[in-house]
A = this chain, B = another copy of it.
Amino acid sequence: MAIELTILGCGSATPTLNRNPTSQHLRIQSTDILVDCGEGTQIQCLKNKVKINKIRAVFISHLHGDHYLGLPGLISSMHLLGRKNLLTVYGPPPLERIINMQLEVSQTTLRYPLEFIATDANKPHLLAVFPEFSVHSFPLKHRIPCTGFIFRENPRLRKLSDAAVHDYNIPVIHYRRIKEGEDYVDDNGLIIPNNLLTSDPLPPVSYAFCSDTAPDPSVTKAVENVDHLYHEATFLEELSDRAAETFHSTAMQAAKTAVDANVKHLLLGHYSSRYGDSFPLQQEAETIFPGAKAVEDGMKFILE
């Protein structure tokens, strides 16, 4: 297992025909979530075969329209499609009021439980703990309160060797505890040490999401040492003045954050609508972060 990422939208505020506003689908082990939910996200889910009623939680970074205006329609469609299971929405405090008002005016009583948990854009915090992963939120530096998210898989179970199972004739009932690190004691009282039975699992994967932000040491610090960083790259360096004015980053600044934070992999997105082709943004980032990748809508990644 790993984290599977599907780019549902990597455009920015002004709409284009080729890029939806920001939204990403993550499957972390067996749990589906969305990160940001710009207008049209439910259609992007349909196009990319993401089943909306499998989505367990939605994380919203901030309340600029291109990051959340698809949420009311998504919540309504989940209802119309017969959802029964809990949906948890994490986002800035006013989001709860907005959603509730829209449910109220449409006189909709949801058939499923909808839970809202507010983010705090003032300090890093542990936002959510799921069985398979945890989520930290941290402040981004934008024009309005805005948070990034770090998704970290929990440490995985050790890998049980098929050969050992066979050689020591281990009953299924013991598998779980051996994978958790215990030794095996057979029917004769013989202790088989765990290191003969298992090998190290793949290390857990971490993924940081920085939707809209100016470069800032606090952001670099927050994403330090993550495996995969998605970072906005709204402009090329030649428009760094415009980036500063609007509290966005250039591709070069995104790459610099990635270098300084010692991340392993860098994905770029949230391009200004002036860039029909994202390749120049990738090239700019690659000058200091080789392997940087400019994403496009519909791309899928296995994060390992």
Interface of A with B (CB < 8 Å)? 13-17, 39-40, 42-43, 46-47, 63-66, 69-70, 72-73, 76-77, 80-81, 92, 94-95, 97-98, 101-102, 105-107, 143-144
A13:B77 contact, CB within 8 angstroms? yes
A143 to B107 Cα, complex, angstroms? 8
Q: List 14 A-B contacts (CB under 8 A).
A: A13-B77, A13-B80, A14-B81, A16-B46, A39-B42, A39-B69, A40-B40, A40-B43, A65-B72, A65-B102, A66-B73, A66-B76, A94-B101, A98-B98
Task: Kindly provide the distance from the CB of A260 to the nearest chain B CB, expressed in whole angstroms.
Answer: 29
B residues less than 8 Å from A97 (CB atoms): 101
A101 to B17 Cα, complex, angstroms? 28
A73:B77 contact, CB within 8 angstroms? no
User: Which are the 8 A-B pairs with shortest beta-carbon distances?
Assistant: A63-B105, A39-B73, A94-B105, A65-B76, A69-B73, A40-B40, A107-B144, A15-B42
Partner pick for A40 among B39, B105, B107, CB 8 A cutoff: B39
A171 to B293 Cα, complex, angstroms? 68
